[in-house]
Structure 1
Amino acid sequence: MRVATHSGSFHADDVFAIAALSLLDDAAPLEVVRTRDPQLLAAADVRVDVGQRDDPAGGDFDHHQRGGAGERPNGIRYASFGLVWREHGARICGGDEIAERIDQVLVQGVDANDTGQTISRSLVDGVAPFTVSHAIAALNPNWDDAPTAADKRQAFDAAVELAAGILRREIAAATSQARAAALVRSAIARAEDPRLIELDRGMPWHRELIPGAPDALFVLYPREDDWGLQAVPRQLGEFANRKDLPESWAGLSDAELAAATGVADARFCHIGRFIAVAGSREGALALARQALDAPGTNV
């Protein structure tokens, strides 16, 4: 498949769009042409981020035309990555659920950056988030490097390779997260005390448990050679917990923590009071019962 995109500086939008096309299950290695020549563009099977048309059936995925290429229900406008993903994402991921997750965690941020929409702000003066869009843009040759055409193409190809790797990893992570979500829902349903959710293995639980178990305060789970007790954050992405572990445990480990708790195999409590560790399930359960009964404001 021959894919055409614009020449000049590349951005996360066009780079990720081409990376996505390279992951189509039936895609032979792409022949990518970087040009603004109308004849070369017309000769391509697919045009990305160039051509001023949004017509998937005709192979056009651009958003620079008058009026743009539409927006999502949340107001984030489609850029070329989003247009390609809307058309092919489910096929690349093997289903709509994973494709939607990738759209949320990756595609929309790239699209917003490319269409000039601010979706995050710095909370610290002089310090700004470094996003995947910045990372891709940083692979462009510097203006004073005097790059040759070969240098520019090498930089572009490296950016596409990086983007494809990120996409593969995010798809794998989202697929794994979907499996974990089902297990977390099952753990919530079988919990004897809704304040304490026990998982049968370590897994990502925040995205499913925080909104799905509003009464949960702590999560208990096995680790490689011990057991963890972790506080549930108030909201996704926040560090503040619904209830912290007891203040008297903060920063203690081994004999000191065992003496403070009366749990013989207590091993560690983080000074931030969000995680404690014991050598056995019984020890972790004993810590959990104490943490549940300890004074503290539940939110």
Structure 2
Amino acid sequence: MGTEVRDVKRANNGKVIGTHNGTFHCDEALAVFLLRQTNTYQDSNVRRSRDPKILDTCDIVVDVGGVYDESLQRFDHHQREFNGVFGHGFVTKLSSAGLVYKHFGKEIIANRLKKSQDDPVIETLWLKMYKEFIEGIDGIDNGVLQYADGALPRYRVKTDLSSRVSWLNPAWNEKVDSNGVDELFEKASTLTGSEFTNRLDYYANAWLPARDIVHSAFSERKNVHASSRIILFTQFAPWKEHLYEIEREAGIAEDEKPFYIIYPDETASNWRIQAVSVSPDSFENRLSLPEKWRGLRDEALSKESGIPGCIFIHSSGFIGGNATKEGALTMATRSLEMQGKAS
């Protein structure tokens, strides 16, 4: 199959994307999908071969050919000297998916959102999609250990996107002709593409609006309490990831970081007070709710705290509830005062 050429035909703009034939992988399946979302390679045919003469007839080549050169539209990552990374703090070696995304990702996102590439949200989403979606594919394809210390994982995960693409290949003892393999490759490309676009749509339409809400509330925290230690959301939004990133970007000192978040619960019928953890993955809080309140509910809690409308405080002190916004704010303020953090 080394010199065999397979053309995957579709209605096209005359451009041809080249990649290798034979067993396919997640990275080139996604790379092909991504290229088909660009203005230049929209609806292009795919030519699958390892023959250099055949590849030279293609307009762009990914994951084969031993060359990485944007000016030549060659995007392979298998050559010995290749150590390309995405940059922007990311150090995972790129696969063909990462290479295509690095060079074409902003255009792809802008096309999807019908925005200019100069819109600042494009840069934000470009970095976010690499971190949350593309980098894992790069790491798996290049055999980059997920655990830097070499420790063995406690369990195996074989339901990731790369594994699901792998399962689309014919079994070693299954008789499938070249046309059949090409059809399976198209399924793989569609699979990777649908997950990419679904994730992008989520980040554009849900993740970014939540970030705006968190950023606005963070900016107004001094108006909630002079200590800047309480943040108030007037509507529910996922806030954890955004809060830590906003703090980091703003260079907030430790003695100014918020202790408590006040927000309406998802039913908007009650209010929550939640302690901010010391880090996104930690169960340790910057300032837990008072120990004497923990585990109490309803009237017992209201009596102990002297605050009407209390609903509960978790036994660990990380979250509580009140029937009203004013009640939740009073719980936060009273907690700061009881623990000497009100100023």
- Give yes or no for the alignment of 1:113 onto 2:137: no
Which residue identity does 2:210 align to in structure 1? Answer: A
Quick check: 74-83 or 36-45, which moved more? 36-45
Q: Equivalent residues in 2 for 1:23-102 (5 A)?
A: 23-24=37-38, 27-68=41-82, 70-73=84-87, 74-94=90-110, 95-102=122-129
Instruction: Give the structure 2 partner of residue 10 of structure 1.
Output: 24
SS across alignment from 2:135: helix
Matched, 1:205 2:239: yes
Contact between 1:210 and 1:233, CA under 8 Å: does it hold in 2? no
Q: Could you tell me which residue of structure 1 aligns to residue 154 of structure 2?
A: 126
Shift of residue 123, structure 1, vs aligned partner: 7.3
Deviations 1:155-212 (A, max 9, x none): 4333322221222233233334344334423322221332111123222322332251
Pick which of 33-42 and 211-220 moved more.
Answer: 33-42
Counterpart residue number, 1:160: 189
Q: TM-score, normalised by structure 2?
A: 0.72
1:97 maps to a residue whose letter is T
The 1:288/1:72 distance shift into structure 2, 3 A limit, reads: same
Conserved? CA contact 1:54–1:69, under 8 Å: no
Q: Which moved more, 1:95-104 or 1:266-275?
A: 266-275
Deviations 1:42-72 (CA, angstroms, capped at 9, x unpaired) = 3322211011111223221111123015234
CA gap of 1:165–1:245, structure 2 versus 1, over 3 A, is farther
Query: Does 2:256 match 1:228?
Result: no
Does structure 1 residue 185 correspond to structure 2 residue 215? yes
Letter matched to residue 242 of structure 2: E
After superposition, the Cα gap between the structure-2 partners of 1:277 and 1:118, relative to the gap in structure 1 and judged at 3 Å, is same
Give the alignment's Cα RMSD to 1 decimal.
Answer: 3.3
When residues 143 and 264 of structure 1 are mapped into structure 2, their CA distance, relative to the original with a 3 A threshold, is farther
User: Which one is further off, 52-61 or 287-296?
Assistant: 287-296
Q: Does residue 238 of the first structure (1) align with residue 254 of the second (2)?
A: no
SS of 1:75's equivalent in the other structure is strand
Report Cα offsets for 1:10-44 as digits up to 9, x if no partner: 22221221222232256532323333243442332
Would the alpha carbon gap of residues 48 and 243 (structure 1) be closer, same or farther in structure 2, given more than 3 Å must change? same
State the alpha-carbon separation in 2 of the partners of residues 18 and 221 from structure 1.
43
Cα distance in 2 for partners of 1:233, 1:25 equals 45
- Are 1:285 and 2:309 an aligned pair? no
Name the structure 2 match of 1:170: 199
Compared CA separation, residues 182 and 147, structure 1 to 2 (3 A): same
Aligned CA distance change for structure 1 residues 257 and 43 (closer, same or farther; 3 Å)? farther
Alignment partners' CA distance in 2, 1:2 and 1:174: 31
| CA separation of 1:31 and 1:206: change in aligned 2, threshold 3 A | same
| 8 A contact 2:86–2:102 mirrored in 1 | no
TM-score (ref. length: structure 1): 0.81
- Is the CA contact 1:263–1:287 (under 8 Å) kept in the aligned structure 2? yes
- 1:19 maps to amino acid: F
Percent identity, aligned pairs only?
28
* Alpha-carbon distance change, 116 to 187 in structure 1, aligned in 2, over 3 angstroms: same
How many residue pairs were aligned? 297
- Unmatched 5+ stretches in structure 1: none
* Equivalent-residue separation in structure 1 for 2:166 and 2:293 (angstroms): 46
**Amino acid corresponding to residue 111 of structure 1 in structure 2:** D
Contact 2:86 2:98 in 1 (8 A): no
The 3-state SS of whatever aligns with 1:237 is coil
- How many Å separate the matches in 1 of 2:309 and 2:152? 41
Aligned partner letter, 1:66:
R
Q: Cα gap change, 1:84/1:274 in structure 2, threshold over 3 Å: closer, same or farther?
A: same
Structure 2, unaligned stretches of length 5 or more? 1-14, 111-121
